[in-house]
Structure 1
Amino acid sequence: MGNWMNKEPPPPMVLVPPLFDFPPLAARTRMLESSYNMLFAKLALKCLFDDYFEEARHFSTRIMLKPIDDPHVDMIATVSGPLDHKPEENIVGNALFRWQRELDDPHTFMDLFVSNSDPVLRIRSSTYYPKWGFGAFGTIPLLMKKRISSEDYGVMGLRYGTGNLSFGAMLMPFAMKDELPKNAWLVSKMGRLTVGMQYEPQYGGKEDAKYKNLMNWSYAIGYGVGSGSPLSPSFNFGLELANSSVFIASFYQHVVVQRRVKNPLEEDEIVGITNYIDFGFELQTRIDDAKTANNIPESSFQVAASWQANKNFLLKGKVGPLSSSVAMAFKSWWKPSFTFSISATKDRVVGKTSYGFGIRVENLREASYQRADPNFVMLTPSKEHLAEGMVWKTGRRPMLQSDVNAGHFEGLPKELRPLGKIL
């Protein structure tokens, strides 16, 4: 009885919510792409600029499920189309069935894609051997309404990748001699600095050696700080000369902050919560003398930011020279999870605001509260965390060193680990 009367109050806790979408779905198929197109924060910027910004006056529905009995396979089905019926626009539906060899390794897989638009039926496969660093991959459209280019008959590729080096090439088996290869890349990382180059034979006639045309070459350099885990802040800055004609400067930062909780619905011992703030900027400027169409500016930019306040609410916004957009997403972490998003786009050319809607159902990525600091100790199966010893002072942010910052990811589930040690 005395022990019950003298029971100590529960220690203060800080919630560490899961990110809305990590790892990004594009990371599951990154072994089918050139490393040059995935590094230099390009994947993070694409997610920031595109995710949840629905096309104006359109809707999209996505269902992503995997069976409980066999987690090695999953299925993604999407339906999208205009909100108002237009004869020239059709509702597009497709489905993707995927098999993955290892649950924690997305690099070896095979998927089958079906759609009511081109390609009607497509198969993709990737195999990667981390022990030797070699991998092979391919994309084969089996059924298409019309085959126009050599790429429509299939693409095959070989790659070599380690933690500091990646090179490879993609070939089209039925392409003409002057179209080989489809592209080739070489990327190297030295500390926080990453440099790369890519060759894509898009310009030049049949009689010309396309590798001598500078417009078929792209170069990039990037500086990055951070572990790659979303529980750790990161910073990336990149410069790119694309096709020797377009200069691109980009900046991306992922910030992890902790704020006090002022929610009366939370328990008294909940004193704070971790928030995630992302900011990105991209500037493109043509540096050649090529004449562009009247409606295509020689330079453009876009700025975007997102704020995840808790596990259920995400707010995003972006600004460009021709339009501005804002998006809100609400997520329930049921099994499967359910996400509803709405976006508004202001077209400054015509002075009109349009809306788009999206619905997502998913159980591919599971909700997890993870340790962000040594002071966070696993408390209950709900994976909220103990924050014993943390002192909260108004206007002062505690400076803490975590296992994540130190690069210790073994205790984290796969959803919140870095994307991999291959460059």
Structure 2
Amino acid sequence: MGNWWSAVEPPPPMVLVPPLFDFPPLAARIRMLESSYNLLFGKLALRCLFDEYFEEAKHFSTRIMLKPIDDPHVDLIATVSGPLNHNPEEKIIGNAQFRWQSDVQDPHTFIDLFVSSTKPILLMRSCAYHIKSGFGVFGIFPVLLRQRLFSEDYGVMGFRYGSPNLSVGATVIPFSHKYDLPKNAWLVSKMGRLTAGVQYEPQCKFFKVGSKDGARYKNLANWSCAIGYGLGSGSPLSPSFNFGLELAKNSKFIASFYQHVVVQRRVKNPLEENEIVGITNYIDFGFELQTRVDNDESSNNIQDSTFQVAASWQANKNFLLKGKVGPLSSSIALAFKSWWKPSFTFSISAIRDRIKGETAIGFGFNVENIREASYQRADPNYVMLTQNKEHLAEGIHWKIGKRPVLQSDVKSGNFDGMPKELRPLDQIL
């Protein structure tokens, strides 16, 4: 009878694992249309870190990303951007993209239509990729243009092969009356933690009549090469580190690194339940240095050396703070996200122009239900993380005191039971 009136056992301690603000990045949805050389070596992550939520000074941007509940194979992205004040020299730009995807879980085979108030007016893009064989074909075709001046205005086609350790491909202009093939080509290989790649991209749209094909390939200004060292699984729930060196077009040397850190801190939110003992935070840091290595006097207006540093901190599911510093300007951005269905994101950024000595504000607003992620609860090692599933938070040893304990020991590597938004993206190099 004594056990009948005994106190109810308290619920087990939990650790909150909030979803990332924007994962996977929108650029990853069309990565099969781009050269792998332009996305690897940490370039995609750095692009998101340096650009996302940093709105242009004295400008606004609005983006709506929706998909119907009855048909998840299609979605629509519409954007409107322009100046905050009335400026007759600047116009409000609007565009929309309608996309059809054959497999909801596989974003590599799709077709989309892009309409815009600027050039091009109507653009069609398509990609077909066979996962088992690794071969794919893609095309970009401007349907409506005000004026077609170059061969690329009639369309570009590409062929590629991808595996976990190799990516090779090329793009050609099928309707060109000249034999300037290929338009670009790339080869990237991964060996353990090292990734090396080379890309051929001619600088001139047209060549002199009678010029030898070998002269174009011998011109070092048409070639770029890069090498990178990377750690991590590629999942946002696992820490990662990327360091890269690139010699671009024999004229610019680029050194960069990007680090994604997953940490845990003590929860001090009175709105949370008592069993919530910790929360996961995401901290990103990136650095990029560009230095000229050529002696081209015609490019004196370009700085010989420039750099930029950026960092971001996602405190919880609702708040994101970012900042970046460069020799010419500095920016800071704050984003708030409400995880309704669809979700709403409001961002404000302040830009300090050191040359003009001015500070300006930019605004952004997003509505989305394309990338769905839920608030997670899991153990500190993220073992068997699934949606809407609770796990014990055993193994967390919180240090007594006011300072939080930062923990990033993620060693499980089991991502099979995770939502597709949080799985690694490196299955295809």
Both structures adopt the same fold (TM-score exceeding 0.5)? yes
**Stretch deviating more after TM superposition (186-195 or 286-295):** 286-295
Alignment match, 2:331? 325
Alpha-carbon shift at residue 418 of structure 1 (Å): 1.0
* 1:10 CA displacement: 1.4
1:16 aligns with 2:17: yes
CA distance in 2, matches of 1:363, 1:357: 21
The answer for the alignment partner of 1:45 in structure 2 is: 46
Aligned length: 421
Residue 291 of structure 2 corresponds to residue 290 of structure 1: no
What amino acid is aligned across from residue 355 of structure 1 in structure 2? I
3-state SS of paired residue (2:421):
helix
Q: How does 1:145-156 map to 2 (within 5 A)?
A: 145-156=146-157
TM-aligned CA deviation for residue 151 of structure 1: 1.4
CA distance in 2, matches of 1:112, 1:26: 16
More off after superposition, 258-267 vs 177-186: 177-186
Distance of 1:390 and 1:179 partners within structure 2? 61
- Equivalent in the alignment of 1:66: 67
Q: Check conservation: 1:377, 1:386, Cα contact below 8 A.
A: no
Structure 2 gaps of 5+ residues are: none
Q: For each residue in 1:40-59, what CA deviation from the matched residue of structure 2 results, as whole angstroms up to 9, or x when unmatched?
A: 00000000000000011100
2:376–2:388 CA contact under 8 A, matched in 1: no
Q: Is the 8 A contact 2:151 2:173 kept in 1?
A: yes
Q: Do the aligned partners of 2:15 and 2:377 also contact (CA within 8 Å) in 1?
A: no
Would you say 1:279 and 2:280 are equivalent positions? no
Q: 1:3 to 1:74 in 2, by over 3 A?
A: farther
Task: Write the mapping of 1:17-416 to structure 2, written as runs, cut at 5 A.
Answer: 17-177=18-178, 179-203=180-204, 205-206=207-208, 207=211, 209-293=215-299, 295-370=301-376, 373=379, 382-383=388-389, 385-394=391-400, 397=405, 402=410, 405-416=411-422
Q: Secondary structure at the match of 1:31?
A: helix
Query: Residues 412 and 307 (structure 1 numbering): CA distance in 2 closer, same or farther, change over 3 Å?
Result: same
Q: Give the partner amino acid of 2:364.
A: G
CA distance in 2, matches of 1:16, 1:418: 17
Cα deviation, residue 8, structure 1: 0.8
In 2 relative to 1, CA 377–245 (structure 1 residues): closer, same or farther, beyond 3 Å? closer
For 2:375 and 2:390, the matched residues in 1 are separated by 6
- SS of the equivalent of 2:265 reads strand
Q: Classify the secondary structure of the residue corresponding to 1:22.
A: coil
Work out the CA distance in 1 between the residues paired with 2:406 and 2:5: 34
The alpha carbon displacement at 1:174 in A equals 2.3
Label 1:249 to 1:262 Cα distance change in 2 as closer, same or farther (>3 A).
Answer: same
The residue identity in structure 1 corresponding to 2:15 is V
Do the aligned partners of 1:378 and 1:386 also contact (CA within 8 Å) in 2?
no
User: Structure 1 377/240 Cα, relative in aligned 2: closer, same or farther at 3 Å?
Assistant: closer
Overall identity of the aligned pairs, in %: 74
TM-score if structure 1 supplies the norm length?
A: 0.95
Alpha-carbon distance in 1 for matches of 2:385, 2:327: 48
Q: Provide Cα deviations, 1:18-37, integer angstroms capped at 9, x if missing partner.
A: 00000000000000000101
The question of whether the paired residues in 2 share the 8 Å contact of 1:409 and 1:417 is answered with yes
Runs of 4+ with >6 A deviation: 377-381
Offset of 1:372 from its aligned partner?
A: 6.1
Asked if the contact 1:178–1:210 (Cα under 8 Å) also holds between the matched residues in 2, the reply is no
Q: For the residues of structure 2 that align with 1:387 and 1:406, how far apart are their CA atoms?
A: 15
Paired with 1:90 and 1:334, the residues of 2 have a C-alpha distance of: 32
- What SS does the aligned partner of 1:210 have? helix
SS of alignment partner, residue 235 of structure 1: strand
Q: Distance in 1 between matches of 2:305 and 2:378?
A: 40
Task: Could you tell me which runs of 5 or more consecutive residues in structure 1 were left unpaired when the two chains were aligned.
Answer: none
Contact 1:376 1:386 in 2 (8 A): no
- Change in Cα spacing, 1:224 to 1:370, as seen in structure 2 (3 Å) is farther
C-alpha separation in 2, matches of 1:270 and 1:297? 51
CA contact (8 A) 1:377 1:387 kept: no
CA distance in 2, matches of 1:40, 1:82: 34
Question: Partner letter of residue 184 of structure 1?
Answer: A
CA contact (8 A) 1:14 1:271 kept: yes
CA contact (8 A) 2:383 2:412 kept: no
* Alignment RMSD (CA, Å): 2.1
Structure 2 residue identity aligned to 1:139: I
Question: Structure 1 counterpart of 2:21, which letter?
Answer: F
In the alignment, the residues of structure 1 paired with residue 281 and residue 404 of structure 2 have an alpha-carbon distance, to the nearest angstrom, of 16
Contact persistence 1:373–1:400 (CA under 8 A): no
* Closer/same/farther in 2, CA of residues 288 and 375 from structure 1, 3 Å limit: closer
1:422 matched to which residue of 2? 428
